[in-house]
Amino acid sequence: MNNKTFKVTYDPLTELMAYYADKKGEKKEKAARAGTVEERLKNRIIDGDRVEMQADLDEAMKKYQPLDIINTILLDGMKVVGELFGSGQMQLPFVLQSAETMKTAVAYLEKFMDKADATTKGVFIIATVKGDVHDIGKNLVDIILTNNGYKVVNLGIKCAVETMLQAAKENNAHAIGMSGLLVKSTLIMKENLEVMNEQGITIPVVLGGAALTRRYVEQDMRTIYKGKVFYANDAFDGLHFIERVVTGKLEYPTGSAFDHDDEDDKLTGTEAKIAAAVREDERYKREGKGERESGRVGDERSNVSQNVAIPKAPFLGSKIIDEVPLDLVFQYVNEVALIRGQWQVRKGKLKEDEYRKMLEEKVYPDLEQLKIKVKSEKLLQPKVVYGYFPCQSAGNDLIIYHDDMKSERLRFTFPRQTDDRHLCLSDYFASVDSGKMDVVAFHLVTMGKVASEHSAKLFAANNYKDYLYFHGLSVESAEALAELWHKRIREELGIAGKDAKELKRLFSQGYQGSRYSFGYPACPNLEDQTKLFELLDGERIGVHLTEEFSLEPEQSTNAIIVHHPEARYFNIK
């Protein structure tokens, strides 16, 4: 890891923008300064340039009313921003810089407007569905729509459908947007649409989130809802949706192209796994097999070997690690998932060598700057609770014993594949019939409540690009801590000898065994996290379960750690 100290002498995003501003951009800037006030203001929005903007706004108000400046000149600039983003010529951080500039301009102009002058192009209700604490995608939609002239009522996270419908009624909303990252959130969305049907509500709905795919929404959700429902892959999809709603042009297309490969290129590693699992379920249903079966205890067992060495646990029970050096955590951050996935700094129209140069000269130094700030202000506070427990398998069940290795403490029941190898997570542990006692590890990691609080603070203050950068780093740092502690567990079990030397290969399961998080195909039941909390007591490190059994704060994750050498990720069929 490069521990070089970078002096904080420049604004990271400004420097990154300067890199993108080639000779054409420089000529454009000079032209903007010399052009008409309309051209200058429009270019300021496109370039995210707030320097001396007030003077241009004052000059414009000599010719136009403040509201006209917003609705014509400034919104025209935001329209260009959307076109540049859609064509791959503008990266998300620069879109947010433009949105910040738009917000600043509107706030200044509002001082000269009567309340009666304040108008919006439309009203949009948006929320993360009940039980889900993930909000970055929803908040990006809020930012883009708000700065394109729409009123957005952002209801936050863990929102019940009744709250959404009440807000829609009170605000005379044009549409509702539902977001969620968890696989279970797709079921909540389905239930929400059914509730709306029962109440005779047909307001247009747009659905978004990592667990969704366009095919699932357009082929499954549309058969459920009596109104119109659409899928949004990103914030600008949401913008185009609401534009069609308010202009009366919201119609289903005559055909749909389900380009999953393009969608997956925009996902982080975790999101891609979720999307792949959902698509596999779609394929299963398309082949006429109906809903997936969980498998039963009597189903045919897989051919996973039972003749493997069982490592010795260093201790039984759980242990808290309340201080983990951030520098150590940062070594395990998946920078591809962070930069391309969370920050959405992608190659776009750049050539490969230009993209690499930009990463090396600008993005990586920006990342180091952010790490310095996070460490100095203690904005991430990594903590771990983990432990080892005696266990045996019985069919689809994993039995966890007390330390006496005789009395049952609790058990997990996992689904089994109904074809292929008939895999079940319990197969990776010694069976009761074998007479051998096995060991399973669990861990729960978090970046702390302060991470969520700081993210919310940045969003509320309209510091959009800082919000994007910090939130992305905080989420990927939680994943990094999980990777780091899984390695620690392998070391303590004495099975780390097969670990890949390259970090990239570790991210691709380059080690013995595997770890499985609740909510994924091998252990899909989020309610089982209550059992994990019974074993580890996550409250001790500040982690809680929501009413729908997801982890809070968002920057937290947990896993079942399996030592068996054959253990790998698998889908349930």
Is it the case that residue 18 has pLDDT exceeding 60?
A: no
User: Which residue is listed with tokens 């109904």?
Assistant: 418
Q: 247-261, 308-322, 374-388: which range is least confident on average? A: 247-261
pLDDT at residue 540 greater than cutoff 70: yes
Query: Which pLDDT value is given to residue 33?
Result: 55
Please give the model's pTM, rounded to 2 decimal places: 0.82
pLDDT confidence of residue 135: 86
Measuring CA to CA, how many Å separate 519 from each of 100, 277, 380, 561, 564? 36, 11, 25, 15, 21
Residue 389 CB burial class (10 angstroms; 0-12, 13-18, ≥19): buried
Q: What are phi and psi of 369, to 5 degrees?
A: -60, -45
Instruction: Choose the most confident range, by mean pLDDT, from 9-23, 137-151, 467-481.
Output: 467-481
Share of the chain above pLDDT 70, in %: 85
Rounded to the nearest integer, the mean pLDDT of the chain is 85
pLDDT bucket at 103, cuts 50 / 70 / 90: very high
pLDDT band at residue 52 using 50, 70 and 90 as cut-offs: confident
Residue 532 confidence (pLDDT): 97
CA separation, residue 15 to residues 19, 339, 370 (Å): 6, 16, 14
**Torsion sign across C-alpha atoms 157, 163, 167, 173:** positive
- pLDDT bin (cut points 50, 70, 90) of residue 10 is very low
Examine the pLDDT at 206 and tell me if it is beyond 50: yes
Mean pLDDT of 84-106: 88
Q: Which amino acid is located at 35 in the chain?
A: G
Spatial distance between the Cα atoms of 212 and 196, rounded to a whole number of angstroms: 20
Half-sphere exposure of 437 (CA within 13 A, CB side): 14
Predicted pLDDT of residue 292 = 42
**What is the set of domains in the chain, with CATH numbers?**
35-116 (1.10.1240.10), 120-262 (3.40.50.280), 317-562 (3.10.196.10)
Please, which pLDDT band fits residue 250 given cuts at 50, 70 and 90? confident
Which of 249-263, 415-429, 431-445, 504-518 shows the lowest mean pLDDT across its residues? Answer: 249-263
- Which range scores top for mean pLDDT: 243-252, 272-281, 491-500? 491-500
Note the pLDDT tens digit of each residue in 490-519: 999 999 999 999 888 989 899 999 999 998
pLDDT single digits (tens) 447-471: 999 999 999 999 999 999 999 999 9
Confidence of residue 253 (pLDDT cuts 50, 70, 90): confident
C-alpha pair distances (Å), 121 with each of 96, 141, 150, 246? 20, 15, 5, 7
Is it the case that residue 67 has pLDDT exceeding 60? yes
Q: Which of 55-69, 247-261, 452-466, 544-558 is predicted least confidently? A: 247-261
- Burial of 251 per CB tally in 10 Å (0-12, 13-18, 19+): exposed
HSE-up of 44 (CA within 13 Å, CB side)?
27
Round to whole Å and give the CA distance between 29 and 11: 19
8 A C-beta contact, residue 232 and residue 189: no
- Model confidence at 483, pLDDT cuts 50, 70, 90, reads very high
Angle at CA 61, nearest 5°, toward 56 and 67?
110
pLDDT for the residue 34: 57
